[in-house]
Every structure is written in C-alpha cells, then in structure tokens.
Amino acid sequence: MFRAASLTTVALVAGLSLCLMPSTQAQGEKADKPCEDLKPIYLPKNRAFADYVLRVQSNAELICLERSEAVYDALLNRQGIDPKYRKEAIAGLAREHASDLLSEWIAALKKLDREGVVLDWNHVEKEPTDEQTDTVIADFGHLLAEMPADKLAAQRTKLHTIARESKRPHVRSLGYAALVSAGASASEIWELAGSERRNDAVRAIPWIANSQVRSELYAISRPLADASASDEQRAAFFYALPSVPGHDEEIFETLRPAIDNQQLRDVAVTALLGRDAGKWPAAEMAPLSNQLVEILKAMPLRTRASSPGRRLAELATRTAERLPDEHRSGHLARISQLKVAQRFLGTLREQMAFNKEYLVVGAGQPIELYFTNHDGMPHNLVIGAAGSLEELGRAADQMATSPEAISKGYLPESDKVLHHTRMLNMGQMQKLVFTAPDTPGVYPMLCTFPSHAMRMYAAFVVTDDVDGWLASHPNASRDTLLGIVTYDHDFDALATQLTKSPQRPSFARGKAAFESRACVSCHSVRGKGGRVGPELTELAKENKPTDILRSLLFPSEKIDPNFAKVELEDLESGQIHLGVLIPQEDENILYLVDDPLGNCEPRIFKRDECLVVPLKISPMPKDLLRRSSPQEVMDLVGYLWAGGDSRHPIYQEPEK
C-alpha cells in the first residue's frame, strides 16, 4: 500500500519558528484571562536566580503561577497585566510579611521607582517606554484610594520622601497625592513642592480623591498655563485638567490655543477628550472642527495611525457632533475619510487558516491592519492585486526550491504584491498601515509560506459603502468573493473513474497540477521540485494509481515514520521539541530539524535520552485538492504514476 506521508507537502511544525526569528507576543495585549488552575513553579533559593526565572515567564504564564512572595513581587511591576493582580499582590505580601496594605504599597512603589517596570519576556529586546512605566504607576495611583487615611497620616515622613526624592516624575506626583490623602492641604503640597517641583504637584490632581482640594490646587497652579510658562510646565498643567471639577469654558479657552503648538498638541487634545464636550462654547465648534480636519489632512498616514493621531481624530469627531444639523453630516464625512480604520486578522491553531474569511474596508480609506499569528507554524499576510491569488500562491510554492527563499521571507517578487508583513512566528504581531485601493473590488489575502496558500487565503473587500456591503452580504464566503470553485471529492467515485474511464490523463494538466497545488514545494519528480519529501519519480513501483489517490485525499491515514512530525521529549530537562527527524546511519543518534524547508542546523539527541512520539497528523495539508476538479485530480494521479514521463504508456494511444 502506498504510504501517505511520501506525498507530504511538509508544513512546518511549531518548533521551526526557532530558525526564523525570535518569538514575541502581540504588543499591548493584556494577560488578563483567568486561569483554570494555578500552576506550581520551582524557584531557586537564590533570590536573584528566582527573579530571573520569573522574568522569563510571559504575562499569561505569570498570572497563572502558584502564589508566593517572589510571584507577588513579580506581579507588582510587570507591565501589561490587569491591575487586579497588583491589588492581589499587595494583599498577598501583607499576609506574607504580617504587615499592612499601605506598608507594602509604599515598598512596592519605591522598588518601582528604583528598578522600573518589567516587560513581558517576549519583549526583552526592548526597553520600557515612559508611557509603559506610567501605566503601572497609574495602577498604584488607583490603589491609593483604598489606603486608610489614618495609616497614611502615620506614614507622612515616608510619603514626603517619595514626593521629594523619587527619581520618576509620576512617582513623585503620587507621593503628593498620598500626602493629600494623609491630610495635607493644597497650599501645603504646593509649598512643599517649591518652584522646582511644582510640575509634580499639579500632576497629582488626577489621583486626589477630594474634589475641593483638586479645585484649590487648580486655582493655585493656574500660572503654569500662562504663555510665559515653559512647555514642560504647561504640559503638566494640561495633564491634570480632565480631573478638575467645573471651570469648563475657562479650561476650554486655556486648551484651545495649544492645539497650534506641536509640542503641546497631544496633551491638549487628550485633556479636551477628558472633558464634557457638551459644555464647550457652541460658536467655537465649527472653527475648531475645520482646524482639526486640516491638521489631520497634513499628517503623514503613519502619524495619523498613531495614538496621538487617533486622539486628534476622536476630538474632531466629538467637535463635529456639536455642530448644527445642516453642517454636522458634512464635517463627519470629511473626518471619516481621514480616520484610520482598524482591522484585525489572526490565524487558527493547527488549521492553516485565517480566523476570518474576509475584511471589508472603504475605497481609499486609510487602514491600520493588525495581523497576529496564533498558530504554531510561521505565517505571513500578503495582500495581492485583484485576481492574483493563483499566481502568487504558485510563485510562493516554487520558492521552496530557491536557496534565497528564507532570506526573502518566502515573499514572491511580483508587482502583484500590494502589501505584506514579514514571516511571523507563534504569538507575533505586525501592524500594516496603508491606504486601501481607490478601486472597489475583491483583493486576495494569503500566506505565502510554501504550501500554505492553497488553504490559507481570505478576501480583502474594498467598497464605496462598507455598511451597505455588509448589510447586503450576510452570508458571504471567501470562495464566492474570490471566484474560487471548490470540490468535495469522493474517493469511491474517483477510484471508479480512475480504473474504468477510457479517457487518458493529460500530461500537461498533471504537470501543472503538481506545480500549482504545492506538491512541488516538498517533492521532486525527475529531479525538479523540493527536497523535503521523497523523490516521486519511481512511485509506481510500489503503488497502484488508487493507492496514490487515497494518499492524496487522506494524508493522515497512513504516515511514513521517516517523514512524520514528531514530539521529542528530552528526558533530562523535560523540554519538549517538535520537528521532523532526519534518518541517520547511527541509530543511537537523532537529528531533529525544526524547519525542513529551511537551512536550520539540526539539533542532535541521543536516542536513549529521549522519548519520541510520532504525531498522528500528516504534515501534508488537509484538503490540498479542494480547488482541483475531478479531472485535475485524475491528471495529477496520472502524472505521479507516470513519474513525470510524458512517454509513459498511459499517455500513449493504444495501437489498433
């Protein structure tokens, strides 16, 4: 019987990502999913070593560890996790140390000021930004509201030290806010700050619970908004304004001119977004809306897609919504054309598929497209010209035989490629910022890793009316949108046709099917094709045509152990590796290749030190021939049976 895996188009397993690029988690995703069970972790007694072990846990892994003093400490300064875990950690350390919440809050805040925040292990190549650090400090600010006033009053000396001596501005501001909670007045902390620290004092306003003190501090700090003040002083003052009660028109008049100042624009826009737009002067709305639209139009697309650009667009929208009916729709339409629309696309695990069949965008619309790979195999995202799916997919499969394929990221050199990401490993995300085509139509999205495009594709729909299109296409599918015809093949019917039909297969169509259906990525016929799977020229020596057909339709039914994916466990370390084994003359040595299509160095193991479990899923993609007609399947089987020889008897007319 013909062995299914000998026709495998080897799709990479999870381990191959080690050969392409370091893994990373999508930036900005919070690890706040609940854990079914907390997992134990061994931590060395040496605290420095223990801290390192915890640092290499991702956010998602960290929150699911069994709690200990070291784990609580790690939760306190890890950026990107839900604030509830910091609250839990403060309470946990208070129990561990038999102390109180405030003492642990102060100790943790000092450590944060001294050592900074820790990023998810997947971002170790980056230094934390000020914005990332400030988000963690803000979580400590929210916890301040839960600290008893009497306890705070008893710790005024320590709070004074935090306010005056901390090296991070927002930590100092939090110290001033804590002093207010301990009973200090607005004038006291203003005096304490002195002229050199007044920026810190005014930035404390958002964390001060007492609205009267916030109003008093606002009144005292008003000179920081004067034109004679520095941009740094004005920025600190603007930062506090969303938390100031009342004074709506006065605050609007303060912030409005700052929009013209590029250095102050974003903090002024952010402050306005934090205020009630319904209380702004009506006469100012049209001029402000026009001003914001002109600023947006002048912005480069990537700047418009940044956080400041989005905030500016949101302020423009809120302003336009205050306009009279006869002007509102026109302003909103202009803003809509300038706004960068966000779209998200991911992958399905172990299915070689995107998680959406189509995305819909407006013609000429600025787009910010986030692509995240959740699968164990590497994938990229390529958006091609209309009608280019087959051409790009075929070019991608043929790249498997090119020595430059890896360095080119398996991206075909074609003017049909409109936009693309790099090749992403599991957990990685890349953002594409571009303007959608002006011409409405359906554009293909595909992964161009060899053999993937046959299954991994979707439709990028460009239309003049996104809402109207969605309403009129409730049951749209990628195949219908892209004009792709698919077939559900029945083995018995095809086997009957294969053995009884008088029609001879077509050599040209069979060869084209072999080269266009990803087979060529891994297998060769008569020396042409990939080197991952076995050479198929002499396949007919051990297999009947129906054996070949069955292997094509049911690739996981019988898997050749020489070409199966395996799970290898290192018995000493317990580490699991995934890959493909390369047969060796020495049976005691195992060579495991992560990337059979690449040039990765194999990892070498001793057989008696490992446990090897062959996986029951063929590397050959399921439904590889779903886009092939029954006749094309017949032609492909004939081509393989003939070993790629056009002179084979199956192509010859019988002698009469």
Kindly give the parts of the chain with pLDDT less than 50: 1-32, 597-599
Determine how many CB atoms are found less than 10 A away from the CB of residue 290.
15
Q: Write down the residue that tokens 């164990």 correspond to.
A: 376
The domain boundary, picked from 482, 502, 522, lies at 482
**Number of domains the chain is built from:** 2
pTM value is 0.67
Residue 529: strand, helix, or coil: strand
Q: Are 34 and 63 in contact (CB under 8 A)?
A: no
Structure tokens at 116: 């900074």
Assess if residue 525 is contained within a domain.
Answer: yes
| Integer Cα distance of 182 and 188 in angstroms | 12
Whether 380 and 470 share a structural domain: yes
Establish if 604 belongs to a structural domain. yes
- The answer on 502 and 465 residing in a single domain is no
Please give the pLDDT value at position 1: 29
Considering the domain architecture, whether residues 460 and 527 belong to the same structural domain is answered as no
Taking the C-alpha atoms of residue 169 and residue 203, their distance in angstroms, rounded to an integer, is 9
Domain boundary among 451, 466, 482: 482
The reply to whether 427 and 393 lie within a common domain is: yes
Euclidean distance between CA atoms 283 and 559, whole angstroms? 75
Do both 442 and 495 map to the same domain?
Answer: no
- What's residue 407's pLDDT? 84
- Can you state the percent helix, strand and coil of the chain, rounding each to 5? 45, 15, 40
Residue 512 falls within a domain, yes or no? yes
Fill in the DSSP letter of residue 578.
E
pLDDT at residue 31 in the model: 47
Range of the domain at 536: 4-10+489-651
Which CATH number goes with the domain that contains 469?
A: 2.60.40.420
Residue 193 within a domain: no
- Which backbone phi and psi does 593 adopt, to 5 degrees? -105, 125
Domain match, 630 and 504 both: yes
| Under 8 Å between Cβ of 162 and 181 | no
Same domain, 494 and 471: no
Residue finishing a domain among 458, 482, 506: 482
With respect to residue 347, please indicate whether it lies within any of the assigned structural domains: yes
Looking at the domain assignment, is residue 602 inside a domain? yes
Decide: helix, strand or coil at residue 168. Answer: coil
Residues 476 and 494 in one domain: no
pLDDT score recorded for residue 5: 32
The pLDDT assigned to 216 comes to: 95
pLDDT at 519: 63
Residues 474 and 495 in one domain: no
**Residue 539 counted as domain residue:** yes
CATH number for the domain spanning 543: value is: 1.10.760
Residue 539 and residue 586 in one domain: yes
pLDDT score for 653 = 73
Kindly state whether residues 530 and 626 are assigned to the same domain: yes
Q: Specify if 123 maps to a domain.
A: no
Q: State whether residue 61 is helix, strand or coil.
A: helix
Would you state the pLDDT for residue 596? 54
My answer on whether 621 and 530 are in the same domain is yes
Residue with tokens 């900074």: 116
The one-letter code for the residue type at 574 is G
